[in-house]
Amino acid sequence: MTGYAIGIDVGGTFTDVVVCAPDGTITVAKAATTPADQSEGVLEGLRLAAAQLGLALPVLLAATTRMVHGTTVATNALLEGKGARVGMLTTLGHRDIIEMREGLKPDRYDLRVPPQMPMVPRALRLPVRERMRADGSVEAPLDEASLHEALEALAAADVRSVAICFLHAWRNPAHERSAAEAARRRLPDAYVTASSDVLPEIKEYERFCTTVANAMVGPVVQFYLARLAEVLSEAGLARPPLIILSHGGVATVEEAGRLAAGTALSGPAGGVAAAAALSRLGAGTELVAFDMGGTSTDIALLRGGAAALSDGRGVGGVRIALPSLDIVSLGAGGGSIADIGPSGLLRVGPASAGAVPGPACYGRGGSLATVTDADLVLGYLDPTLGGALALDPAAARAALARLGAELGMGVMEAAAGVHRLVNARMADGVRVATVRRGVDPRGFALLAFGGAAGLHVGAVAAELGVRRVLVPVQASVLSAWGMLNTDLTVHLARSFAEAGGLDPAALARAYAAMEQEGRARLAGFEGPTTTARSADLRYGEQVFEVSVPLDGLDLDAADARAQIEARFHARHEALFTYALPDQDVVLSNARLAVTGHLPPLPNAAPGAPSGSARPGSRRVWLDGWRDVPVWDLAALAPGQALTGPALIQSATTSVLLRLTDHARNDARGWLEINIGGIEKTPR
C-alpha cells in the first residue's frame, strides 16, 4: 500500500474514522454523527484524524489511495419511515401482492396485531396491461396506452421514485426495461428502478417488496452519496470512496446508489468483516461478533472464520431479499433510553437518545436516562476521557434520580438495574444468533467491539456460559477498520422454473453468463478476481430452499447431477438432521459472487507501551462501592496479566473486569479475558 487507507463508519451516535498509514500504524478519531447531513460528521472526523497525524486535511486526502464508507442513510429512512414517495407500476391484476405479502402475520398467535401498512398506498400501485409467461414468452404485449395513463397519474401525484414490478420479469425483463425508459422520459427527476435490475429471481413477493424498498431509499441514498463524493473531492480526495454493502463487500458510489437497498446493513457489515479479519489473524475460527455501539447492538455468528449470508432480512418491517450478512440487531446501545414500560416495569431501549441530544451526561439538552448515564454513575466511565466531549456526572445522576423515583428506588439501584437489564437483553440477542440456530454459544468466543461493549461483555458472557472474550485494541472503531479489510464484490443470481430435477449444463451456462456480467460490473478493476458458486436447492414438495456451495465441482462431469444432489442431501441433513435421498431435488436459483481483491492492509510491528503500567484507582459500584485499579490500555506490556475487579481504559473505550475475571494483553493487539463465576447455561 503506497498511500493512506481510511475507513469511515457512521453510527447513530458517533462517526468513527480509522486511518491506516503506509507503514501499518493506525490513527483513530470519533466525531458526533450529524443526522441532518452525515457528510458533515464525516468531514469533522477526517479533520480530527488529520490533526492527530499533524497533517492538513487536503494533504491527508490527497495521499489517500482507498476510502471505504459505511452509512446508515438507508437504515434510518426505513426505520423512521422517511423514504421517498413511491409509485409502483405492476402487471394488471397483481397490484396487491406487496399488501397481501405471504399471507402470514408477523406474530401468528397475536389476534390483536394491527395489519401492516403497505409500503406503497394502493392509489399509487397502478396496473399496466402486459403479461410474461413463466418461460419468458409474451402472453400479452406491453400496452403503451395503459403505461402512459399510469405514468401520467404518478406525475400528477408528484412521486419521487418509481418501482416497476412486472410478473415473471426475472425471466424476461423486456417489458420492465421499456417501462423504465418511458418512466425516465416522463419523470426525468424521479428515481426509477425495475425488479429485473434489483432482484432478478423467482418469487413475486420478495422481488416486488425488495424493489419497492430500493425505490424508497434510492433517492436519499443516491443524493447523500453524490454529495459525499462531491464534498470529499472538494476537500482533496483524488479517488471516490467505496461503499460497504450489507453482504460485506464494497461497491462504487454508482453501484451503491443503483442498489440502494443493499446498504441497509452497511455499518454492521463492517464489524463482521473485522471479525473475519481478526479470525484470520489468529483470534480463533468460532466467534460471536458482539458490536455494541451508541444506538444498537449487532450480533453475528462466525463458524470456520466466516459469517453466513441471508436473503430474507427485514429492516423496519420492510423485507429486503438481497444477500446480506446474517446479523441480529437489537435496539440496545449506550444511548438506549431507560424508562417505564406499559407494564409499569423498567425497560431499556429500543428508543435511543442518538447523537442529538444524546445521553443526559453529554450536556446537549438530553434529560432522559440512558445506558451511558448509568455506566457513568456506576463509576465505569471516566468523565474526562471524552476529550472535547467531557461527560457530566451530575446530569446523569439527575436523570437516573428521576427514573429511580418512578421505580421507588435510589439512584445507584436504578443505575445498576439499567446496567443489568441491558446485559440481559443482549444475552438474549446472542441466544437468537446461536441457540436458535442450533449452536451452543459455550463453544465460541465473544469478540467484543463498539464503544460500549467492553463495559458489558463480561456480564453477557457469564450469562451465556461463555468463558473466552476478546476485546481488540481498536474496539471502539473496529467496524471502520473492518471496512478496510473487505473486497469489491458483486452478487448475482439466476432463477430456474423447470420442475423435476436439475440440469448441470443449464447451470454451467448460467454461471458463465453471471461471471461475464459480474466482471463487467467490476469494470476498471485491475487486481485479482475470484468467483464463488452456490445453488438454492429444495426437495420437490418443499416451499423453502437450502443454499449449497458448488465450488470445485465439475459441471461437465458425467455424474455432475449426482454430485450436486449428494451435496444437497448432506447439507440438508447437517441443517435439519435428516435427508430424503429418494425424493427429487429441484434447482431454484444459481448464485455467483465475483470478488475483486483489494490490497491487504499492512501490519505495523507491535509498539512498546506508551506509558507507565502503574494503575490509578477509582470507586465503582459492584454490588456496593469498591476501589478498583484503573489501567491504561496503551501502557500495558505484551503478555501482561490483570485480575478483576479492574477497569482498563483508553481514549475511546473502557473494559470492565468483574470480580472473577482475568485478562491478558495479547501481543497481537487485543485483550483476552477469561470469564469466571459462570453458572448460566443457554436457554
Residue 395 predicted with pLDDT over 60 = yes
Q: What is the DSSP string of 412-479?
A: HHHHHHHHHHHHHHHHHHHHHHTGGGT--GGGSEEEEESTTGGGTHHHHHHHHT--EEEEETTGGGHH
pLDDT digits (tens, 9 = 90+) for 142-182: 999 999 999 999 999 999 999 999 999 999 999 999 999 99
- Mean of pLDDT values over 180-185: 95
The rounded distance, in Å, linking the Cα atoms of 387 and 93 is 61
Residue 501 predicted with pLDDT over 90 = no
Give residue 277's pLDDT band: very low, low, confident or very high (50, 70, 90): confident
pLDDT digits (tens, 9 = 90+) for 602-644: 765 555 565 556 778 899 998 889 999 999 888 888 888 999 8
Residue 12 predicted with pLDDT over 90 = no
Residue 533 predicted with pLDDT over 90 = yes
Q: Compute φ and ψ for 279, nearest 5 degrees.
A: -60, -40
Give residue 141's pLDDT band: very low, low, confident or very high (50, 70, 90): very high
Residue 503 predicted with pLDDT over 60 = yes
Q: CB neighbours (10 Å) of residue 114?
A: 7
Element at 4 (helix H, strand E): strand 4-10
Give residue 387's pLDDT band: very low, low, confident or very high (50, 70, 90): low
Residue 492 predicted with pLDDT over 60 = yes
> Cα separations (Å) of 356 from 164, 210, 377?
37, 31, 21
Give residue 348's pLDDT band: very low, low, confident or very high (50, 70, 90): confident
Give residue 191's pLDDT band: very low, low, confident or very high (50, 70, 90): very high
pLDDT of residue 425: 92
pLDDT of residue 607: 56
**How many residues are present in the chain?**
683
Of 639, 638, 618, 642, give the one whose Cα is nearest residue 628: 618
pLDDT of residue 467: 93
Contact (CB, 8 A) for 329 and 296: yes
The rounded distance, in Å, linking the Cα atoms of 158 and 186 is 12
- Mean of pLDDT values over 644-670: 86
Element at 585 (helix H, strand E): strand 585-596
Q: Identify the residue with better confidence: 634 or 411.
A: 411
Which residue type occupies 395?
Answer: A
Q: What percent of the chain has pLDDT over 70?
A: 94
Residue 485 predicted with pLDDT over 70 = yes
Lowest mean pLDDT among 98-112, 430-444, 637-651: 98-112
- Mean of pLDDT values over 531-558: 89
- Mean of pLDDT values over 318-329: 84
- Mean of pLDDT values over 651-671: 86
Q: Specify the fold of 4-77+222-262.
A: Nucleotidyltransferase; domain 5 (3.30.420)
Contact (CB, 8 A) for 221 and 297: no
* Most confident region among 165-174, 313-322, 540-549, 659-668 by mean pLDDT: 165-174
Give residue 388's pLDDT band: very low, low, confident or very high (50, 70, 90): low
Largest interatomic CA distance in the chain: 81
Mean pLDDT of the chain: 87
Contact (CB, 8 A) for 438 and 576: no
- Mean of pLDDT values over 370-383: 92
Residue 73 predicted with pLDDT over 90 = no
pLDDT of residue 212: 93
pLDDT of residue 69: 92
Domain covering 488-596: architecture: 2-Layer Sandwich (3.30)
Of 66, 18, 19, 240, give the one whose Cα is nearest residue 599: 66
pLDDT of residue 349: 80
Q: Identify the residue with better confidence: 541 or 259.
A: 259
Q: What percent of the chain has pLDDT over 90?
A: 44
Residue 500 predicted with pLDDT over 70 = no
pLDDT of residue 679: 55
Contact (CB, 8 A) for 171 and 135: yes
Q: Nine-digit cell at 633?
A: 490500555
pLDDT digits (tens, 9 = 90+) for 105-123: 666 777 777 777 788 899 9
Which residues neighbour 651 within 8 Å (Cβ) at sequence distance 6 or greater? 385, 387
- Mean of pLDDT values over 86-104: 86
Distance, C-alpha 573 to centroid of its chain: 29
Task: Map residue 570 onto helix, strand or coil.
Answer: helix
DSSP E strands in 189-286: the ranges are 191-194, 242-244, 250-251
Contact (CB, 8 A) for 513 and 219: no
Of 39, 86, 59, 345, give the one whose Cα is nearest residue 217: 86
Class of residue 153 by CB neighbours under 10 A (exposed 0-12, middle 13-18, buried 19+): middle
Give the alpha-carbon dihedral of 537, 319, 193, 529, to 10 degrees. -50
